[in-house]
Structure 1
Amino acid sequence: MNPRYYRPEVLETIARNVISKYDGSLLTVPAPIPVETIMEMVYGLKIEFQFIRNNGRVLGETVFEDATVPIYEREGGEGYKLMRVRAGTVIIDASLINNRLDGRFRYTCAHELAHFVLHKEIYTESGETAAMTNVVRSSEADNTIEWQADRLGSYFLMPKGLVKMAFYRNHGNRNIIDSLADVFGVSHKAMEIRLNEMRLID
């Protein structure tokens, strides 16, 4: 099944609606969006930490149906093992477990939530999982799916209205990217990309 096309403006609206389902007041004050809590409380997703691959290239996987997935076992003889996982489980690479406030952890959660919101019908009954990976996907459909998850994930963490509000409050700050990255709990790079996309910086 080919992914549905979403314009960026539609993805912005989806992000606002998802956040509002949990707590609309989050869209009034610039602060880190509790994406992990939204995943658990609004969508009933369960976050589990495992080493997904031996090379660290896959940071997250969303399991849409009960499935058996390969997990990398670091203790007791390194190698892959198969693990039974329930539908609605988001597996986050265990390398991120000690950095739950870190931008990479939050971005991985947001990316996987985006897959769940946008792509459930694509992966349901396909026996596949959606994965956030550092490897470029080979098929055009996969690239579209990953682009959508990246975009919506960034909109969950950095809602447009809040970014504008925080930007103008900090206008003139020479370290504005770092300041806003701290406000929203994201990486410098993620904030720089968002500000560029919104044409607030060039």
Structure 2
Amino acid sequence: MEKVKFLKPEQIENASLNLIAQYEHKFGAVDKPPIPVEEILEAHLGLSFEFEDLTATFGVPDVLGATWIQDQRVAVDQSLDPFEHPTKEGRYRFTIAHELGHWELHRHYFLAAAAQLSLFDEEPKPPIVCRTSFRKAPMEWQADNFAGYLLMPGDLVFKAWEALHGNREPYLAKKEMADLSARWGLAENQQPTVDIARKLAREFNVSGQAMQIRLIGLGLIKTKEPDPSLFSI
């Protein structure tokens, strides 16, 4: 298969916004969270979806999702079924969005590779398999970023932030993070989720960690004290 090309963050974000725009053209505006990722997958893209015991399917642990490009099928591990495991809804929705990222960003690689195979090759074509324990390849990083942009579009996040916070001023989270780390005994490389990220996460049906990463990326949460101005007195 052709090597996966580097994509800038803005290219990945634009791809996610384009997918939402295509969905809106068919089904109406998405003007508030949560983003209907299941409807985008099934109703808009026409992909089939099911829960499956992916550990049994692939014979390895920690497989959360898989996409069969040629079969136009997506599966999520049954351990993430939000009806059976409501506390995992954020992880479930992120996995769906991650697989949509593969479909939008990477399916052409697999279709091109399949076209080069012999017409008499009857070997089943491998799916994109997403595991938690493997060091992430560029394809996986891109799908993760796509998922974050899709589930938490910037305009909706800013709108929700203003409704909750009153303005677009960033929140300096250093003290709250230090207090939470001390209370929970976290290591220095572990970052606790602050309260405002957890509140917005519930609105967008994502995990607190995913929302906090997005808020930091948008500059709405600061984890360090701002540098003093050269002109301050």
TM-score range, shorter chain: 0.7 to 0.9
Return the alpha-carbon distance in structure 1 between the equivalents of residues 3 and 212 of structure 2: 31
Trace 1:107-146 onto structure 2 (pairs within 5 A). 107-124=94-111, 125=114, 127-137=125-135, 143-146=137-140
Q: What are the superposed Cα offsets for residues 36-59 of structure 1, whole Å, 9 maximum, x if unpaired?
A: 110011211111111111564111
Structure with the larger RCO, 1 or 2 (CA within 8 Å, 6+ apart): 1
Moved over 4 A (4+): none
Trace 1:13-162 onto structure 2 (pairs within 5 A). 13-23=14-24, 25-26=29-30, 28-29=31-32, 31-53=33-55, 56-65=61-70, 87-97=71-81, 98-99=84-85, 102-124=89-111, 125=114, 127-137=125-135, 143-162=137-156
Return the alpha-carbon distance in structure 2 between the equivalents of residues 7 and 162 of structure 1: 22
Return the alpha-carbon distance in structure 1 between the equivalents of residues 50 and 95 of structure 2: 13
Return the alpha-carbon distance in structure 2 between the equivalents of residues 146 and 183 of structure 1: 26
| AA of the residue aligned to 1:186 | V
Residue 157 of structure 1: how far off its partner (Å)? 0.4
Q: May I ask how many residue pairs the two structures share in their alignment?
A: 175
Q: What are the superposed Cα offsets for residues 46-95 of structure 1, whole Å, 9 maximum, x if unpaired?
A: 11111111564111000012xxxxxxxxxxxxxxxxxxxxx011011011
Return the alpha-carbon distance in structure 1 between the equivalents of residues 219 and 130 of structure 2: 27
- What's the Cα RMSD here? 2.1
Return the alpha-carbon distance in structure 2 between the equivalents of residues 4 and 40 of structure 1: 27
- Structure 1: gaps (5+ residues): 66-86
Return the alpha-carbon distance in structure 1 between the equivalents of residues 207 and 46 of structure 2: 27
Residue 188 of structure 1: how far off its partner (Å)? 0.5
**Is the 8 Å Cα contact of residues 123 and 130 (structure 1) preserved in structure 2?**
no
SS in 1 for 2:221: coil
State the identity %. 37
Match of 1:182 in 2: 202
Structure (1/2) with the larger strand percentage: 1
